[in-house]
Amino acid sequence: MRTRDVLQLLIDTCGPPGGDEGILFGDHDQEVDGIQVCWMASLDAIEHAASAGVNTIIAHEDLYFPSWRAPHRATPVDYVSWRVNQRRLGLLTQHGMAVIRAHGMLDRHCIFDAFAAALGLGAPVVNDGPYLKAYDLPSGTTYGGFVEHVKASLGMEAVRATPHDPDAVVRRAGLPWGGLGLFVNVGYMQSVLKYGCDVFIAGESDNYGMHFARDSGVPMIETSHEVSENPGLALYAQELRAALPDTPVHFYENPMPWRWW
Q: Compute the average pLDDT of residues 15-20.
A: 94
The per-residue pLDDT for range 37-72, each reduced to its tens digit, is 999 999 999 999 999 999 999 999 999 999 866 666
Please tell me the pTM assigned to this model.
0.96
Question: What are the pLDDT digits (tens) for 117-138?
Answer: 999 999 999 999 899 999 999 9
**pLDDT of 21:** 96
pLDDT (0 to 100) of residue 77? 80
Q: How confident is the model at residue 174 (pLDDT cuts 50, 70, 90)?
A: very high
Domains of the chain by range and CATH? 3-102+228-252 (3.40.1390.30), 109-222 (3.40.1390.30)
- CA within 13 Å, CB half, 136: 6
pLDDT, tens digit (0-9, with 9 covering 90-100), for 214-240: 999 999 999 999 999 999 999 999 999
Distance CA 113, CA 123 (A): 9
Note the pLDDT of residue 45: 98
Examine the pLDDT at 76 and tell me if it is beyond 90.
no
